[in-house]
Structures are given as structure tokens and as C-alpha cells.
């Protein structure tokens, strides 16, 4: 084969790592421990030569004295002894962006685990990588230890994805799994997750669905060959999910999961992140705790599921290393699977045109005719009902105290619709609110069928 490439492979591949948190430290250890195995397998030595982090002295359980030290990640990226730049700093702009750009501009391949950076600048960075003729790997940015990026980029042949969905945030999945197994509120469960290190001190980014949205936007681009459009994702988090929702879901044969879902319709591409009723018998309903899963539906493969750890130092570091080894072998693929110039613009299918089933929970005043009035409003908007539940045993208000059915008190009413247009549902619920038979805002959770 090619002489030039073969000669290149004999030289060691010198790695510079910016960011020595859990993943960075795990990567350093992994490269040391597996150095011989890597050389045996790939015919090339891969070694860390330079690092950069916030603190030089912090104890990370690794010895960094043999590596060149940089205070500035951009300087590390430009270091002439560094062949490949690994960005593990995090953040959508700032030093992460500056250093990745600097590396690519210097004609160096990059591996990053930074989903926020890619969600915002992925297309520009991919274009820069293509221009420089180098690879940019980001397997670890979506679902840490699961090789979904490689699968989408290289594993599907010419199969055309019709829908991609998945559990992309371990924190939310842990909380929803525990709420499903125990009689525990969202708030208490979140506290436990924080104590266990499964949730950040400020959990907003996870529990409000933004983390899932970033990852979904990256998957959407790879699945549908369009530009990344993270700002165009419809996002609802899990903070409003109650025990009551979870119990009714179980009773009706569903589990509640925070899903990221993207699919193509005539109107464009839907990207949605929201708590979702999924059939309890479905594969995704059974992905529990901090596990992640991605399900791909293509025109050739009905359902391909990848599940595994979505985070964790060594699982994520293994994905970073897989990208490094692709580069060590000389792989150069357009980072988004398709040359950026060939990516189509993202065309958002409006959420109002979404069609699906809905779970609706209403606090209804216990007055005669209320149920009839509500169901009439739905009927007027062409919404057919699959199930209606109004029973004392689910008659619990938000504080968890059971109401009696005295006049002036409320009852919980649960409605499950057949496939309905989001616009019709919203209109009907506005009318129901105006009619004055209900208290507070309705709880609405979308149902996804597989």
C-alpha cells in the first residue's frame, strides 16, 4: 500500500490532553496500561506527551511529571510535539473552542468529548477539519461508552434513518427509574442523586433536558445528514413528573422515560426532548438507572438498539481512545459522516404539527357535568380518547394528600388520547381551562409508539 502512510505509522502518535478531570485521568492511565497492546494491535505507539489543566498540583491519581505542562490549552494545541489534540475541558465556547480551532488550523486531528461545543459549533469545526484534511472524533460526546457515532457514521451502510430515539441522560434516567420503583418524589430523588454524584449541584442542565437536547442535535445531524440545530429542539424536562403520573402510567402499561426523539416527516425534522410514555414491554422501557440507550430505525433495519454506560470516567475514556486509535490508523472521515458542504439545512417540523398520543391529567372540580364538558371540548377538536380514568384511588392532589369528594374539592381525571395533532390538543386544553371546571395547568405527557 501507500509508502507515506506506512512510514507515518512507525512514528509514535504524540497526544496532548487538555483537561484532566475524571475522563482525562482515566485516559492517561489507559494509555499507559495498554501501550504494548496498542502497539501490537495497531502497529504504532500512542503516547501522551503534553497536558494542560486548571491546577498542576491537584492529586488525580496519575503521574504527570513526565508530560510537558501548558497553562493555556491553545498553546498545548499548537505545541509542535503534539500530533493529536484531545479536548476534555468542556463548555461550548471559551478555551475549548479556541483550542480545538487552533489544533485544526494547525492541521492536527482532534478528539473531543464536548457535546455542548459540538452542538453549537460542530458544523464549523467539521468544516475546518475537512479543510485541514484531518479527522475530528467525538464518540465520547454522545452516550459516553456506547459507540453510536461510529455506528451512525460507518456502520449502517446506505441505510436511511427514519427515526432515532433514546435515553441520553443518566441523571434523568436514574431519577425516573427510582421514582418507578419506590414511592419517592422527584425532589427527594434528585437529592439522593446529588448525594450519589449522579447529579450536579445545579442540576438544571440535566433535569430540564438541555443535555439530552445537545446530544440529540448531534445524532440528528448524523442520522439525517443535516446541519446541527441544537437551538431548534423542543425541550421539556422531568421536574414536573409526579408519583401519580408514574403510577397511572404503570397501570396503563407504560413507563415514563426522558427521551430525545428525532424523526423526519413531510413538514421537516422533528427534534423533541420530553418525558415520554413508552410501552412497558418496549426495549427502551427496560433501560434503567444510569444506563443510556439509542434506538435506530432505518429503512433496512427495523430496530437497532445500543445500550450501555452513558457516562463514567473509564467508559468515556475508552470511547476517546477508540477515536484516537482510528486516527492512529490513518482514518480521515468527514466528522459528520458527510462533507459539511453536502449537509442540508435543518428544516424544523413545527411542534404544532406533531401527531401522537397524549396522557392528560387534570384537576377537575367535583361538580356535575364537568367530565361531559371536558370530553365535549376534546370531541369538538377531533380528539378521540383511548382511556378515561376517574377514580377515588388516584384522587390525590399535588401535595400528596387525598381529597375527599365533597363539593368544592377536586378529582383527578386522566385521559389517554388516540393519535392527535399537537395543535388540536393545545386548542382543546385552552378551551377546557377557559371553561373553568379545572384547577391549575393540566399535566400533559406525550406517548411514543414503537
Among 40-48, 55-63, 83-91, 243-251, the segment contacting a copy of itself (CB under 8 A): 40-48
| Interface residue with a copy of itself, options 301, 372, 388, 398 (CB under 8 A) | 301
- 317 in contact with a copy of itself (CB under 8 A): yes
Among 80-88, 203-211, 295-303, 386-394, the segment contacting a copy of itself (CB under 8 A): 295-303
- CB-based contacts of 146, cutoff 8 Å, min separation 6: 292, 293, 294, 306, 307, 308, 309, 310, 319
Give, in order, the Cα–Cα distances in Å from 321 to each of 133, 140, 310: 20, 9, 16
Strand partners, 258: 275
- CB-based contacts of 396, cutoff 8 Å, min separation 6: 244, 402, 403, 412
- 228 in contact with a copy of itself (CB under 8 A): no
310 and 139 in contact (C-beta within 8 Å)? no
- 177 in contact with a copy of itself (CB under 8 A): no
Separation of alpha carbons 217 and 225, rounded Å:
11
Give the single-character DSSP code of 344.
B
Separation of alpha carbons 136 and 133, rounded Å:
10
Element (H, E) at 212: helix 210-224
- 280 in contact with a copy of itself (CB under 8 A): no
Separation of alpha carbons 23 and 87, rounded Å:
11
- Between residues 34 and 431, which has the closer beta carbon with respect to a copy of itself? 34
- 61 in contact with a copy of itself (CB under 8 A): no
Three-class DSSP category at 7: helix
From the centroid of its chain, how far is CA 43?
35
b or e along 56-91 (b: 16 or more beta carbons within 10 Å of the residue's beta carbon)? eeeebebebeebbebeebbbbbbbeebbbbbbbbbe
User: Could you tell me the end-to-end alpha-carbon distance of the chain, in angstroms, rounded to an integer?
Assistant: 47
- Which of 78, 108, 115, 215 is catalytic? The answer is 215
- 30 in contact with a copy of itself (CB under 8 A): yes
Among 14-22, 170-178, 326-334, 397-405, the segment contacting a copy of itself (CB under 8 A): 326-334
CB of 323 to a copy of itself, least distance (A): 8
| Interface residue with a copy of itself, options 63, 342, 393, 419 (CB under 8 A) | 342
| Interface residue with a copy of itself, options 66, 94, 253, 339 (CB under 8 A) | 339
**How big is the chain, counted in residues?**
450
- 399 in contact with a copy of itself (CB under 8 A): no
- Between residues 37 and 404, which has the closer beta carbon with respect to a copy of itself? 37
> Is 215 a known active-site residue?
yes
- 145 in contact with a copy of itself (CB under 8 A): yes
Among 37-45, 69-77, 178-186, 245-253, the segment contacting a copy of itself (CB under 8 A): 37-45
- 11 in contact with a copy of itself (CB under 8 A): no
- 37 in contact with a copy of itself (CB under 8 A): yes
- 150 in contact with a copy of itself (CB under 8 A): yes
Q: What angle do CA 75, 79, 80 make, to 5 degrees?
A: 155
| Interface residue with a copy of itself, options 331, 382, 384, 418 (CB under 8 A) | 331
- Between residues 258 and 315, which has the closer beta carbon with respect to a copy of itself? 315
- 182 in contact with a copy of itself (CB under 8 A): no
| Interface residue with a copy of itself, options 307, 381, 410, 412 (CB under 8 A) | 307
3-state helix, strand, coil in the chain (%, to 5): 40, 25, 35
- Between residues 122 and 337, which has the closer beta carbon with respect to a copy of itself? 337
- 338 in contact with a copy of itself (CB under 8 A): yes
- 28 in contact with a copy of itself (CB under 8 A): no
- Between residues 20 and 30, which has the closer beta carbon with respect to a copy of itself? 30
Query: Helix 22-33 vs helix 35-42: angle between axes, to the nearest 10 degrees?
Result: 70
- 250 in contact with a copy of itself (CB under 8 A): no
- 202 in contact with a copy of itself (CB under 8 A): no
- Give the pairing of strands 136-137 and 234-235: unpaired
Going 280 to 281 to 285 to 288, the CA torsion angle's sign is positive
Separation of alpha carbons 320 and 314, rounded Å:
10
Backbone angles phi, psi at 292, to 5 degrees: -110, 165
- Between residues 228 and 414, which has the closer beta carbon with respect to a copy of itself? 228
Q: Which of residues 429-448 bind a copy of itself (CB under 8 A)?
A: none
Size of residue set near a copy of itself by CB under 8 A: 61
Nine cell digits for residue 313: 470516567
Catalytic residue numbers, as ranges: 215
Interface ranges with a copy of itself (CB under 8 A): 1-2, 4-5, 30-31, 33-34, 37-38, 40-41, 43, 133, 139, 145-147, 150-151, 154-160, 225, 283, 286, 298-309, 314-315, 317-322, 324-326, 329, 331-333, 337-339, 342
Amino acid at each position: 500500500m501507500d509508502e507515506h502512510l506506512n512510514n507515518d505509522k512507525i512514528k509514535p502518535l504524540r497526544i496532548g490532553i487538555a483537561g484532566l478531570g475524571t475522563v482525562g485521568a482515566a485516559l492517561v492511565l489507559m494509555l499507559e496500561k495498554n501501550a504494548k497492546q496498542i502497539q501490537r494491535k495497531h502497529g504504532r505507539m500512542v503516547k501522551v506527551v503534553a497536558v494542560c489543566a486548571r491546577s498542576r498540583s491537584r492529586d488525580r491519581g496519575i503521574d504527570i511529571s513526565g508530560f510537558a505542562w501548558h497553562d493555556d490549552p491553545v498553546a498545548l494545541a499548537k505545541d509542535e510535539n503534539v500530533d493529536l489534540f484531545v479536548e476534555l475541558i468542556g463548555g461550548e465556547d471559551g478555551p475549548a473552542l479556541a483550542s480545538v480551532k487552533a489544533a485544526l488550523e494547525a492541521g492536527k486531528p482532534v478528539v473531543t468529548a464536548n457535546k455542548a461545543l459540538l452542538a453549537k459549533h460542530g458544523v464549523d469545526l467539521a468544516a475546518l477539519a475537512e479543510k485541514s484534511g484531518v479527522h475530528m472524533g467525538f464518540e465520547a460526546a454522545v452516550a459516553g461508552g456506547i459507540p453510536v457515532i461510529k455506528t451512525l457514521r460507518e456502520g449502517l451502510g446506505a441505510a436511511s434513518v427514519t427515526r432515532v430515539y433514546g435515553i441520553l441522560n443518566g441523571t434523568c434516567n436514574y431519577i425516573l427509574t427510582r421514582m418507578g420503583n419506590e414511592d419517592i418524589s422527584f425532589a427527594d430523588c434528585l437529592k439522593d442523586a446529588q448525594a450519589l454524584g449522579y447529579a450536579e449541584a445545579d442540576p438544571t442542565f440535566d433535569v430540564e433536558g438541555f443535555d439530552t437536547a445537545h446530544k440529540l442535535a448531534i445524532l440528528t445531524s448524523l442520522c439525517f445528514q443535516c446541519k446541527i440545530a441544537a437551538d431548534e429542539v423542543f425541550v421539556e424536562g422531568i421536574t414536573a413528573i409526579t408519583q401519580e403520573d408514574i403510577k397511572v402510567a404503570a397501570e396503563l402499561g407504560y413507563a415514563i422515560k426522558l427521551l430525545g426523539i428525532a424523526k423526519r416527516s413531510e413538514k421537516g425534522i422533528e427534534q423533541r426532548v420530553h418525558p415520554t410514555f413508552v410501552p412497558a414491554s418496549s426495549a427502551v422501557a427496560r433501560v434503567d438507572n444510569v444506563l443510556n440507550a439509542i434506538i435506530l430505525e432505518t429503512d433496512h433495519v427495523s430496530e437497532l438498539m445500543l445500550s450501555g454506560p452513558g457516562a463514567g470516567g473509564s467508559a468515556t475514556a475508552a470511547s476517546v481512545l477508540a477515536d484516537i486509535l482510528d486516527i492512529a490508523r490513518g482514518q480521515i472521515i468527514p466528522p459528520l459522516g458527510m462533507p459539511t458542504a453536502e449537509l442540508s439545512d435543518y428544516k424544523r417540523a413545527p411542534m404544532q404539527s406533531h401527531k401522537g398520543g397524549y396522557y392528560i391529567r387534570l384537576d377537575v372540580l367535583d361538580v356535575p357535568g364537568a367530565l361531559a364538558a371536558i370530553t365535549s371540548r376534546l370531541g369538538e377538536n377531533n380528539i378521540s380518547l383511548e382511556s378515561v380514568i376517574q377514580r377515588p384511588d388516584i384522587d390525590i392532589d399535588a401535595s400528596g394528600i387525598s381529597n375527599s369528594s365533597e363539593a368544592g374539592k377536586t378529582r383527578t381525571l386522566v385521559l389517554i388520547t388516540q393519535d392527535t395533532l399537537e395543535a388540536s390538543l393545545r386548542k382543546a386544553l385552552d378551551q377546557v381551562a377557559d371553561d373553568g371546571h379545572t384547577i391549575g395547568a393540566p399535566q400533559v405527557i406525550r406517548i411514543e409508539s414503537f
